Structure 1
């Protein structure tokens, strides 16, 4: 049986570029004894294989079964060492760590003066590039060496190092608390999405205030501010406070303008900040600002100086394409939007392993919504089925819930009434199971269940009644979350007016922005 998605060694081998494979062979080939080694033969076999097949490895007599685990572990380690030596994987952090290793070697050889010189230079680089955890490690080694390398300046030097260690330790503590808070908030939104009721709202507010550290803002550097804005951003997202989401995402992006050199040092958070800025503008519905910021984002990431490792490539694909899709949702331009789906989907196959199920399912939900808006109901159901049938998706319960709700609406729209009752029951059961059955879902399910008893001539009035009922929840602090996933009111108005849903959304967008003229 193929285990290519589960075997870490196979996935690592398949992730290597041509130049990385060439370097690995040069690296292991530097010693003649490696030319016909078991781990190199295993590497060549895996490189040519389309799937991980343990039986095939053993049948080729590359390695005996009892040796396989050890040979795989050795090969994995050798590949990582080779990658570490590759210039493309060198960064500020690895360079500072290398200097720390060199200083440590010199210290153990008793060459204190040389060691201190290296540490002093490395510490300066670490502080300039906001690597304060590493800077703290460097200071701690300096303190150890200074305690043995006695000079006339030791008293003054001891005071300097002690003060520096205290300052770095305090900033590292603030950064750690803010990053912990941010990560926990992100985990909550991944698990269950936006807050659903007053109890959850109070819990999040208490959780946030209890864990928020005390500090003086003027003491904060780039890294501490980054985690501060990150924590506030997730807090605002959970509360569906999209204006504050925009505010803190903008602070995040502007922080990179203030510390421009940090774009190349820490490109991942640059990408994330721009993504959250665009996401906030999407929820606010400001298409002009969205387009302007998306264009700026594209310009920066297309520059030759912008980092381009595997992780950055995957995140660039993710954020650029999700926001390219969102652009068409703002004003209901579904006819144009569906045209970009085939290209994105073909590229998605390349990045699937690096993005994970969570992000792939978000793409599928976007595709489904886009096709629903354009009237391609069968295509909509096709993508929704990919989400609903994914039994391994243990996160984003909100996404799974609304995929099922949209699936109900899509089946009705497609005239697939023969199994609508079974779908209603399974959806209702699922929503109850994860405690996500709220008034909007209740009203929609009740309406769909009653359709078989409504005469054709009364259908339009039934749509109007449901629309008027749901409108009460558009500004409700908790019920409104349903409309973030599915614009059911625009769908109802399209049925009432007998026009495409995209036309309804377009008209609302024009009215909201006073663009009718």
Structure 2
């Protein structure tokens, strides 16, 4: 209840007070005093609540339950103006009231209008409730057209049930792929790829896009985008993300109903562009997304949080491609404020991703202590099963940052610890093995031989840059740019900026599509 009150806007709180005090007798109601008390607290403290409110300790549980219900009722009354699902269920309630009073014709008129709206907005479960209610009313009527009406209801119900079954299968498939990504990251071996293909491809191949409804196509595009993303096929992921967004653009009435899902399409789109290094398309798409967010405004709290995450991530990715680490660091304070403010709305996986990107910004700028500070937030997680790949690379980056910062007195112990962790997570690949072997030899390499050893490591790692599975390491660590910086005596930022400028000098057809 405390979290609910803290999540309310000023308008929602004002609306609740008007709703709660609508009767003269409620002006001094205890539950309103409880609301005012909780609204002033920064953290929930039951002792302070009992001191400030005219409520006995044994009354408090019932009072909190009553207040919670009253807040939800007031929010529902306010939300009905903006939420089509709530409006449709309200119409169903009105139809039930009229039916119970024996006003069948009036009830039927409301149901017919509700059925049209539910059908137009793909509210399938509500549509089934409406049709079932209409059948119930028709059993009270005796007419010649009842047989054909019954057949029409049957066909509609069968079609809706088929769509619901497809939606259930496709949404579950998308969720399963996403859950696999949260746990392991991208596919690591041919065995991983074969397992994913054998399990998921047949489940997706049975659908023909043209025969699908809006919701079926949405979940199909979502599942296909994740399917290709986890397989490193970013071109196809990008194409399905484009179709995902275009689907909503073609049905603008669905955006307010599923705005969070619409936003997540942009997340896949921008992520794919970053991993394909399509700088200009990423910048243009990010600008278009920001304009749309400003035009639409705050749809709801969830949409605000998702959109801000996408925007921050997009700008950090732009800085990575440009080599503008200092510019990216200017965003960190704003991002930290955002993470603190919306901590309860952002899951651990999303926080870990943001911390890793911030750590990479500081590493690129040469601030290794701050880099390790953010990496510690990832390596210190209590759940080793969440983004095991990210935890592995955070440990490797921490090793490199420790060496760069001169904190190498226990480097051998750190390397053994990281090696053991990666083996335990079953995440060891050739690129990681080469990197750890090099770091292990560092203390025995003479200073005048260091550049030669770095060149050897660079030559060994370079062929893996486009390897089907080994290349995933380079999504997390730009190890080649770091090696170049050590060999040439320049900063990582200078190396990346030079690569960026060289890329921009290419003809447009060569550098971006």
TM beyond 0.5? yes
1:52 paired residue number:
44
2:511 paired residue number:
none
Displacement, 1:24? Answer: 1.2
1:498 aligns to 2:489 (yes or no): yes
Displacement, 1:25? Answer: 1.6
Other structure's SS at 2:122 match? coil
1:298 aligns to 2:286 (yes or no): no
2:248 paired residue number:
256
Q: What is the CA–CA distance in structure 2 between the aligned matches of 1:499 and 1:57, rounded to whole Å?
A: 60
Q: What is the CA–CA distance in structure 2 between the aligned matches of 1:150 and 1:422, rounded to whole Å?
A: 85
Match of 1:312 among 283, 303, 318: 303
2:474 paired residue number:
483
Match of 1:332 among 323, 335, 357: 323
Q: What is the CA–CA distance in structure 1 between the aligned matches of 2:7 and 2:410, rounded to whole Å?
A: 44
1:461 paired residue number:
452
Displacement, 1:98? Answer: 1.1
Q: What is the CA–CA distance in structure 1 between the aligned matches of 2:290 and 2:359, rounded to whole Å?
A: 25
Instruction: State whether residues 80 and 86 of structure 2, in contact with CA within 8 Å, keep that contact through their aligned partners in structure 1.
Output: no
Match of 1:75 among 46, 67, 84: 67
Displacement, 1:240? Answer: 1.1
Instruction: State whether residues 177 and 213 of structure 1, in contact with CA within 8 Å, keep that contact through their aligned partners in structure 2.
Output: no
The verdict on how the C-alpha distance between 1:246 and 1:513 changes in structure 2, with shifts beyond 3 A counting, is farther
Match of 2:375 among 366, 375, 384: 384
Displacement, 1:331? Answer: 2.9
Instruction: State whether residues 37 and 53 of structure 2, in contact with CA within 8 Å, keep that contact through their aligned partners in structure 1.
Output: no
**TM-score by structure 2 length?**
0.94
Displacement, 1:230? Answer: 0.1
2:126 paired residue number:
134
Q: What is the CA–CA distance in structure 1 between the aligned matches of 2:25 and 2:443, rounded to whole Å?
A: 78
1:420 aligns to 2:411 (yes or no): yes
Displacement, 1:513? Answer: 5.7
Q: C-alpha offsets along residues 195-251 of structure 1, whole Å, 9 cap, x if unaligned?
A: 122222122112213433734432212211110100001111111111111110011
Displacement, 1:511? Answer: 4.5
Segments of structure 1 that go 5 or more residues without pairing to the other structure are: 1-8
Displacement, 1:64? Answer: 3.4
Match of 1:321 among 312, 321, 327: 312
1:13 aligns to 2:5 (yes or no): yes
1:515 aligns to 2:512 (yes or no): no
Q: What is the CA–CA distance in structure 2 between the aligned matches of 1:312 and 1:345, rounded to whole Å?
A: 19
Q: What is the CA–CA distance in structure 1 between the aligned matches of 2:430 and 2:55, rounded to whole Å?
A: 62
Q: What is the CA–CA distance in structure 2 between the aligned matches of 1:156 and 1:88, rounded to whole Å?
A: 35
Q: C-alpha offsets along residues 353-408 of structure 1, whole Å, 9 cap, x if unaligned?
A: 21132222221111110111111212211211222223257522222221111111
Match of 2:151 among 154, 159, 180: 159
Q: What is the CA–CA distance in structure 1 between the aligned matches of 2:80 and 2:134, rounded to whole Å?
A: 30
What is the aligned-residue RMSD (CA, Å)? Answer: 2.1
Q: C-alpha offsets along residues 273-319 of structure 1, whole Å, 9 cap, x if unaligned?
A: 1121111101100111111111111111111x455211111111111
Displacement, 1:69? Answer: 2.7
Q: What is the CA–CA distance in structure 2 between the aligned matches of 1:257 and 1:452, rounded to whole Å?
A: 58
Match of 1:355 among 346, 361, 382: 346
Other structure's SS at 1:264 match? coil
1:277 paired residue number:
269
1:430 paired residue number:
421
Segments of structure 2 that go 5 or more residues without pairing to the other structure are: 509-513
Q: What is the CA–CA distance in structure 2 between the aligned matches of 1:148 and 1:181, rounded to whole Å?
A: 43
Q: What is the CA–CA distance in structure 2 between the aligned matches of 1:247 and 1:222, rounded to whole Å?
A: 18
Instruction: State whether residues 112 and 149 of structure 1, in contact with CA within 8 Å, keep that contact through their aligned partners in structure 2.
Output: no
Match of 1:114 among 106, 109, 126: 106
1:225 paired residue number:
217
